[in-house]
Amino acid sequence: MKMRSRTGALTILSLVVALAGVAPAQTFTTVLEFDYALGGFPEPTALLQGSDGEFYGTTFAGGVQHIGTVFKVTSTGTLTSLDGFQGPSNAHPTGGLVLGTDGDFYGTTSGFGFLKPNQQVYFSAGTIFKITPAGIFTTLYTFCNKTSCADGSEPHSALIQTSNGNFYGTTTLGGANTYGTVFEMTPGGKLTTIYSFCAQAGCADGARPFGSLILAANGNFYGTTYQGGANGGGTVFELTPAGVLTTLCNFGGSTGRNPYAGLAQGSDGNFYGTTYGGGAKGSGTVFRVTPQGTLTTLYSFSGVDGANPYAGLVQASDGNFYGATLNGGSRGHGALFEITTLGEYTKLYDFCSEANCADGAAPRGGLVEGSDGNLYGTTQNGGMKVNCPTCGTQGEGTVFSVSLGLAPGLNVFPFAGK
């Protein structure tokens, strides 16, 4: 395990740039540097901690056929590849994993790309799969089974399982109007489309949901769309299990644009999330939405403090939210941050703080609070291992942890999305 800590650059930077708050004492650790043979370029969703205490996730590429893996990793960096996707329909997992009530893991693949570097191109609309802790893989559903892909295509989000035992998720394309769906699937693989986006003139109801859903205390689902809405910059929506959709708020301009990630419901009952672009400074935002739809921009990114958050937020056991930006920071390769419910922002770490980005670069996925109280996450690039035959000189991604002195124990509030 390689121990990483912040360099003096962040301290110097904080004297120059006025950022809200003072970063708490912390230790940043690179837990794992991915090796392409066992997976590379981890997907933009949070890791999942299993009942065994180990962390589970997916990589977009690498593995036997170069089209992704399901992996588990210990907090000390021991990596095990549970499955290397074989294609052609099961390829490129994009949504991370959810632990089912049966003890198995469930996930999605987007299913497009190359079977092997410099070999045949294939196209698929994606799948839903199950994998046991022992690595036994089952394809439960293949999208585009209906005329014009009315059942949806190219899911990019994680699934959620509700008390009825069924799984719910989103697709970015397909559906009756070709702009994405919300679906329900039984554990046996029977899929029902609950809602097709762009059902209203001008896609006023939203279009292309990339993020995962969350199930709120009132029994309804909440999520985001990347595009559409009254201003064209995406929406936050509420959806009943029966498929009745309400647009809670519309993004555009200074309120932020294009949320990729899903929402986190805070302990106060409000919903919190990020937008990739827009805001007062054009580099994305952190926002809060009440269940009634009142939108508040808590923070607008400007670049050196972070830019373009692709991932969502997690509310940790201290009550504050934590997240990552894909770009920005003092070195332009992303940053980790903390933000309170009042919008008090603290940058915690700048990626690429080490030579050749050995500590990682471009964190696309969200964070998760482990049972040891540390925060865990992934970077899409960086690390020192470069074994991908067609990927140039960029590293293949990392798993990292951040110790902030949070109390041990799985005392975290609901997180869904990237």
**Which three-class secondary structure string do you get for 73-127?**
ECCCCCEEEEEECCCCCCCCEEEEEEECCCCCEEEEECCEEECCCCCCEEECCCE
Amino acid 13: pLDDT = 33
The pLDDT of 142-161, averaged and rounded, is: 93
pLDDT band at 40 (very low <50, low <70, confident <90, very high): confident
pLDDT higher than 90, residue 401: yes
Kindly state the DSSP code that residue 357 receives in the 8-state scheme.
Answer: G
Q: Give me the amino acid identity at 260.
A: Y
Higher pLDDT: 115 or 253? It is 253
Give the torsion through C-alpha atoms of 74, 210, 141, 80, to 10 deg.
-10
The pLDDT of 307-331, averaged and rounded, is: 96
pLDDT higher than 80, residue 201: yes
The Cα–Cα gap between 310 and 323 comes to 9
Amino acid 41: pLDDT = 84
The Cα–Cα gap between 92 and 62 comes to 9
The beta-strand segments (E) located in 266-320 are 271-275, 285-289, 295-300, 314-315
What value, to the nearest 5°, has the Cα angle with vertex 32 and ends 28 and 35? 145
With H, G, I as helix, E, B as strand and everything else as coil, classify residue 352: coil
Higher pLDDT: 88 or 247? It is 247
Amino acid 101: pLDDT = 95
The pLDDT of 19-38, averaged and rounded, is: 75
The Cα–Cα gap between 173 and 111 comes to 13
pLDDT band at 394 (very low <50, low <70, confident <90, very high): confident
Higher pLDDT: 15 or 403? It is 403
Kindly state the DSSP code that residue 74 receives in the 8-state scheme.
Answer: -
pLDDT higher than 70, residue 37: yes
pLDDT band at 65 (very low <50, low <70, confident <90, very high): confident
Q: Which two tokens stand for residue 235?
A: 């929406």
Instruction: Give, in order, the Cα–Cα distances in Å from 395 to each of 21, 39, 381.
Output: 32, 12, 5
pLDDT band at 202 (very low <50, low <70, confident <90, very high): very high
Q: Which two tokens stand for residue 128?
A: 């839903």
Render pLDDT for 243-275 as a digit per residue (tens, 0 to 9).
999 999 999 999 999 999 999 999 999 999 999
The pLDDT of 33-52, averaged and rounded, is: 86
With H, G, I as helix, E, B as strand and everything else as coil, classify residue 8: helix
The Cα–Cα gap between 96 and 84 comes to 14
pLDDT higher than 50, residue 156: yes
Tally of CA atoms within 13 A in the half-sphere of 413 that contains its CB: 22
Render pLDDT for 205-233 as a digit per residue (tens, 0 to 9).
999 999 999 999 899 999 999 999 999 99
The pLDDT of 361-367, averaged and rounded, is: 94
Task: Report the range of poorest mean pLDDT among 63-67, 104-108, 231-235, 291-295.
Answer: 63-67
pLDDT higher than 70, residue 344: yes
Render pLDDT for 12-26 as a digit per residue (tens, 0 to 9).
333 333 333 445 568
Give yes or no for a contact between 154 and 171, defined as CB atoms under 8 angstroms apart. yes
Amino acid 76: pLDDT = 93
Task: Report the range of poorest mean pLDDT among 172-181, 238-247, 407-416.
Answer: 407-416
The Cα–Cα gap between 259 and 109 comes to 21
Amino acid 414: pLDDT = 36
Amino acid 174: pLDDT = 95
Amino acid 24: pLDDT = 59
The Cα–Cα gap between 6 and 29 comes to 10
Q: Are strands 335-339 and 321-325 parallel, antiparallel or unpaired?
A: antiparallel
In the chain, % of residues over pLDDT 90? 72
pLDDT band at 5 (very low <50, low <70, confident <90, very high): very low
Length of the chain: 418
The pLDDT of 160-167, averaged and rounded, is: 96
Mean pLDDT of the chain: 87
